[in-house]
């Protein structure tokens, strides 16, 4: 049984992640008003995961953290 959602903002974050098959960068999620603590809570609860990618942009190589919803997060949305 997946964990229950603790707060409406967690559910909102999962809805956004569910609509993004490749996930979204942490920067975009923070820009949408979600806090680092709330996003970390989703990851610790197993509802989301963080994937670090190395990308080239403007001749520079940077690391980007992308949040993705997990199967448990998908199941929590359907409770």
The domain segmentation of the chain, as residue ranges, is: 8-77
What mean pLDDT comes out for the span 32-57?
94
What mean pLDDT comes out for the span 51-67?
92
- The 10 Å Cβ neighbour count of residue 75 is 13
What mean pLDDT comes out for the span 51-59?
90
- Report how far apart, in Å, the C-alpha atoms of 39 and of each of 55, 61, 74 are: 22, 25, 15
- DSSP label of 47: S
Between CA 39 and CA 36 the distance in angstroms is 5
- Class of the CATH-defined domain 8-77: mainly alpha
| Cβ-contact 73, 47 below 8 angstroms | yes
Confidence at residue 79, expressed as pLDDT on a 0 to 100 scale: 82
Could you give the residue ranges of the DSSP H alpha helices within the chain?
8-18, 26-31, 36-44, 71-77
């Amino acid at each position: 049984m997946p964990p229950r959602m603790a707060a409406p903002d967690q559910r909102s974050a999962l809805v956004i992640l569910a609509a993004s098959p490749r996930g979204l960068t942490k920067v975009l999620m923070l820009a949408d008003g979600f806090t680092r603590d709330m996003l970390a809570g989703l990851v610790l609860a197993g509802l989301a995961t963080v994937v670090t990618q190395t990308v080239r942009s403007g001749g520079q190589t940077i690391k980007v953290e992308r949040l993705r919803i997990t199967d448990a997060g998908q199941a929590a949305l359907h409770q």
